[in-house]
Amino acid sequence: MQPELKPIRIDQDAPGYVGGRGAAIASPAQKVLRNTYLLLAVSLVPTVIGAAIGTNLDLSFLRASPMLSFFAILGIFYGWIFAIEKNRDSGVGVGLLLGFTLFMGLLLGPLMQRVLGFSNGIELVMMAAGGTAAVFFGMAAIATTTQRDLSGLGNFLFIGAIVIMLAVVANVFFQSPMMHLVLVSAFVLFSSLMILWQVNAVVRGGETNYVSVTLSLYVAIYNLFTSLLQLLGIFGGSRD
């Protein structure tokens, strides 16, 4: 007797299926990712402009009262983020985001002044920018192609953000060079994992608002760049 032949059933909801509802699931995620990358690229323009302006401004008044300046900037930072998230579904959110990136560019001024004071300052800036780009594209590629669900990283990153933030506030009072070195190194690791987790969340449909995603990735890229630049200035800066 021949075995009974049963029809093969194609699961149209399977992740690897590219037709039917599978395609409908993939398409919105691709759209969010495309819009995110476009807005992220645009957001770097105000940052560069702000950095150019900030580098040529006298921001020494920030060092006159470092604690007051730190908490004032921190308040503006989180207040602006709150406003962006509140308006993320409208064009106002995009405008606020671009204004935020200009402000963050201005804050780069003091760091850029210190690094460009080295004889190899321009080289250090280029290395930090190249390293940031390499990490971003590397993490984004892994997040896009991996078959693993990286949503579990969210809890780790949430706890890590709290620990790092508390350590940053503590070091405002302690002013420990060693703690500062540990913190900037931690920011490199944290920002890299944030990029990995956030892009993967978009790919898997866990995040659908490109303004929020752009904001998250921008802050990660900003922290990554500034941390790498500080590390390069500490270990590679030359006064010759």
Question: Residue 139: is it exposed, middle or buried by C-beta count within 10 angstroms (0-12/13-18/19+)?
Answer: buried
Q: What is the tens place of the pLDDT at every residue in 26-85?
A: 578 889 999 999 999 999 999 999 999 999 888 777 777 878 888 999 999 999 999 999
Rounded Cα–Cα distance for residues 238 and 99 (Å): 34
Q: Report pLDDT for 26.
A: 56
Give the relative orientation of helices 177-203 and 20-55 as an angle to the nearest 10 degrees: 150
Say which residues have a Cβ less than 8 Å from residue 38's Cβ, sequence separation at least 6: none
Percent of the chain topping pLDDT 90: 71
pLDDT for position 67: 84
Q: Tell me, what's the pLDDT at 27? A: 78
Question: Rounded to two decimals, what is the model's pTM?
Answer: 0.87
Residue burial 71-89, b: 16+ Cβ < 10 Å; e: rest: eeeeeeeeebbebbeebbe
Cα 97 to the center of its chain, rounded Å: 13
| Residues constituting the chain | 240
Q: How far apart are CA 110 and CA 139, in angstroms?
A: 29
Is residue 18 very low, low, confident or very high in pLDDT (cuts 50, 70, 90)? very low
Task: List C-alpha distances in Å: 53 to 49, 70, 178, 226, 228.
Answer: 6, 20, 31, 17, 21
Pure H helices in 87-120: 91-107, 109-116
Q: How confident is the model at residue 7 (pLDDT cuts 50, 70, 90)?
A: very low
Query: Which residue from 155, 157, 151 is spatially nearest to 191, judged by alpha carbons?
Result: 157
